[in-house]
Structures are given as structure tokens and as C-alpha cells.
Amino acid sequence: MGPDHVSDWFWEVLEATRPRLSALELWLESHSREVLEAFALAYESAAESLADFSEGVSVDGDVWSEDSTEDLCMWVVGQGYGLWSSVVVGELRLEEVAQMYLGRAPLLPEGVAPWDGDVSDPEHRGYQSPGAIVHGVYRTRFAEELHERLEGM
């Protein structure tokens, strides 16, 4: 799957709100249920396009668990289109990007600032990443679990 399968608007939202997680939180709070669901689906689709989580990723001779591989892929998406597309088109291997994730290599592309992790609503603590905040906002606004809603789609 090429980099075009994830909508441009999704990447634009990440770029416009980065590095302030509270800005992404505010953006999500101002949009409809359908937009939040579309954002979450785009995020998941982008992450799933990087690897089959169940196969893991080999890092320093160890094969990571399904959960760790999913965490890595979600992190890559959160870094934005530049890093994500570099992995999708094969310019970077996921194993190389894992070194960035672990803090052992500089973050690419250069100049990308990490998310700050601050949220405005105390109920969103525990959802302090760009991939998780949509779940916290959805739960607060609609009193439903987003992952359950998405499973039914």
C-alpha cells in the first residue's frame, strides 16, 4: 500500500497541531463524532500499513511482541507524514526507525519536534499521545469507547 491511501487532511491536522498535544486535543474537541472516527481510522490504517503487528519487528536481534510493534508503528504515524512515508516507500526500514523510537538515533526528518504530552482536560491524562488522545476526547464527549464503535464499522 502506497502513501496515498491515508487522506491528506489527516496529515495536515497532525502537522498543524504539532508539537502541542493540547492543540490536537482542542481540534478534536471542536469536531463531530464522524470526524473523530475518521481521524482514528486514518491513524490506525497508517500504522497498519507499516507492518503486520503479529509478526513483530526485529530490533538488535530480538523480535518485538505484537503490542510493542503496534506501539512503534503508532509512534511512527505520530511523527508525521515525512517519517511515515519514508518507511512506507522503503527509504527507511522499521528496524532503523525503532532506534529513533528508543532514543538511540536522531529523529528524522530533522527539525521535527516531539509531541509535548500536555493536555488541557484532566480526563484526558493517560491518553497523552497523538494516537491515543482521540480516544480520550471521544470518551469524554460521547460517553462511549471509540475502539468499540470502530469495531462495529
Sorted by where each begins, the domain ranges of the chain are 3-151
Q: What is the pLDDT of residues 81-131, one digit of tens each?
A: 999 999 999 999 999 999 999 999 888 767 678 899 999 999 999 999 999
Show the cell assigned to 111. 527539525
How does 45-81 read in b/e, with b if 16+ C-beta sit within 10 Å?
A: ebbebbbebeebbebeeeebeeebbbbbbbbbbbbbb
Percent of the chain with pLDDT over 70: 97
Q: Is the pLDDT of residue 4 over 90?
A: no
**Residue-level pLDDT at 82:** 92
Whole-number Å distance between alpha carbons of 127 and 98: 22
Residue with the three cell numbers 480520550? 136
Q: What is the pLDDT of residues 39-63, one digit of tens each?
A: 999 999 999 999 999 999 999 999 9
* Residue 54 and residue 66 in contact, taking contact as beta carbons nearer than 8 Å: yes
**Residue-level pLDDT at 1:** 54
Q: Is the pLDDT of residue 64 over 70?
A: yes
